[in-house]
Amino acid sequence: MEKIIDLINQEKTVYNFLYQFLKKNRLKNYKQRNPQLLNSEYEERYALNIDKLTEIPEIEGKDILLQKKMYDFVLYVDDLIIDDENKVELILTFATIINNNDNNLILMDNQSSFLISSALNDYTVEQIKQYGEILTSPEVSRKVIAKTEDFAKQLQIYHHIIDYCHQNVSENMTDDMYYSYINTIENMIDELKIENKVKKI
């Protein structure tokens, strides 16, 4: 299988590669993995990725450190044993996160970036904009990783955090509200019981 980074180099830019990939592929593997989906749900998934694609040109016009972070993440994902379609979706989600919350995620290692991108992969650009600053908080990331080394369980913890954000996070978040949310989430992570599944006490 040809490396994604080589395909990107052929298309000259990350945006060109992702655009051509989505146009030609149309998430056919996603549809095969989820045969129960209605055509409308499948089209929504495709539209979700097209919406995220619009974030790429903004990154390509930003400072070199942000572009390097994007390139490093592409290289990291490219070496994972997952299909190209999944890689593309993760790259698009990561791009959306760093374009709107670059102060936090740009300092994280690729493993943490992959975890957060995986957790937010099913969410819209607007939801990522609203919750991203909290989910990429270094305090939250450290808490999740310290709680368990198991990736699947870390992902479950992040989904608990996203559920909390759905129910509680205001669209017009002030600094005081941000720190209050982080404090509540840190306490919530401490109280989660890690077994075969993550359960609330």
**What tens digit of pLDDT does each residue of 54-109 get?**
988 888 777 788 888 888 999 999 899 988 888 999 999 999 999 887 567 778 89
Domain boundaries, the chain: 1-107
Cβ–Cβ < 8 Å for 114, 90: yes
Q: Are strands 193-194 and 198-199 parallel, antiparallel or unpaired?
A: antiparallel
Is the pLDDT score of 12 beyond 80?
no
Residue with tokens 């493993």: 111
Query: Taking a C-beta distance cutoff of 8 angstroms, is the pair 79, 6 a contact?
Result: no
Distance of alpha carbon 67 from alpha carbon 129, whole angstroms: 19
Please give the share of the chain, as a percent, with pLDDT higher than 90. 45
87 or 171, which is more confident?
87
Which position has the token pair 């994007």? 70
pTM: 0.86
pLDDT greater at residue 155 or residue 84: 155
CA-CA distance, 169 to 200, in Å (whole number)?
A: 20
Dig out the tokens for 91 from the structure. Answer: 């790259």
The whole-angstrom separation of Cα 49 and Cα 29 is: 14
Q: How does DSSP classify residue 81? A: S
Is residue 50 within 8 A of residue 26, CB to CB? The reply is: no
* pLDDT exceeds 50 at position 201: no
